[in-house]
Amino acid sequence: MFAVDTFTHRLKRGCETMAYPKGPAPALPDRHGGALRVDAAKCPDGCAECLPVCPTEAVTRPPGGGVSLDLGRCLFCTACVEACPHGAITQTGDHRMAVRRREDLVLGQPGHEEVRLAAALDEKLRKLFGRSLRLRQVSAGGDGAAEADLNVLGTIGWDLGRFGIQFVASPRHADGLVVTGPVPRSMELALRKTWNAMPEPKIVIAVGTCAISGGPFIGNPEVMNGVESVLPVDLYIPGWPPHPLTILDGLLRVLGRLDEGSRAQVPAQVGS
């Protein structure tokens, strides 16, 4: 009787997995403003209102230039948005932030007001990983936030497995290494051993500001300031923590499963 009731209940509920990426991307919640945009042309000479409010010095102003924002160091606290009297730094509501090159996370130069989205892997790697990508996740001093959002991707609403992407327990079964956390020195050897145990070819994905730069711990002598100081990184997914949609977009984009330049499905404003 219990089995019949369960089956009937599931039929009534229907399919709960989101349509994305075949359908429009779901809107980000109000508390998550998405990627930031920097229009340095709006920043007048001598203005530095946003610089002292940034807790990680992600906002800088090079001599003779306009404001610059490094999303790889950014905690997305929006203190700079609130402090800027000229509207040079704004929220976009855009979940798409993953990049292949670290320098592409630095915004503010002419023509680089927004993130340059990640290009796909080369053709050989896409053929190997495009239909079946196995990932080994390592929390290198993480606080559990980015790890929790990675776990969300395995729930019924997201169903990461439908894309052929799965997390595995052993690095010997993995194609890619997903790292979260600022990488304390005590984790350096563990990361190297995990990497060395993985068969070639393999990739490294840094998830979250901590894994990219050290986040709020940047400059602390006990941390390595991100995974790049230990291993070569193939995909950077910023955020503190990154929204599950941002992580999924980065994974699909690097596999060539999304239009690399399209932003047509991004909501015009942050949703509820």
Per-residue pLDDT tens over the stretch 24-63? 888 898 888 999 999 988 988 878 889 999 999 999 988 7
pLDDT of residue 2: 53
pLDDT of residue 264: 34
Q: What is the mean pLDDT of each run of 10 residues along the chain (272 residues)?
A: 64 76 88 92 85 95 85 96 93 96 93 92 93 96 96 94 96 98 97 97 98 96 96 97 96 85 38 30
pLDDT of residue 4: 63
pLDDT of residue 263: 41
In 3D, which of 180, 182, 179 has the Cα closest to residue 217?
Answer: 182
List Cβ neighbours of 170 (8 Å cut-off, separation of 6 or more). Answer: 136, 197
Asked if residues 160 and 133 have their Cβ atoms less than 8 Å apart, the reply is no
pLDDT of residue 167: 97
Q: By three-state DSSP, how is residue 136 classified?
A: strand
N- to C-terminal Cα separation, the chain: 40
List Cβ neighbours of 199 (8 Å cut-off, separation of 6 or more). Answer: 172
CATH code assigned to 123-254:
3.40.50.12280
The residues facing 177 across adjacent strands are 136, 204
Q: Whole-model pTM?
A: 0.89
Q: Where are the alpha helices (DSSP H) in the chain?
A: 2-13, 79-83, 123-129, 145-152, 188-197, 209-213, 244-254
The pair of structure tokens assigned to 259 is 């239009």
In 3D, which of 90, 106, 91 has the Cα closest to residue 33?
Answer: 91
Residue 18 burial (CB < 10 Å; 0-12/13-18/19+)? middle
Indicate left, alpha or beta for 21 from its phi (over 0: left) and psi (-120 to 50: alpha): alpha
Q: Please state the φ and ψ torsions of residue 69, each to the nearest 5 degrees.
A: -130, 125
Domain residue ranges in the chain: 123-254
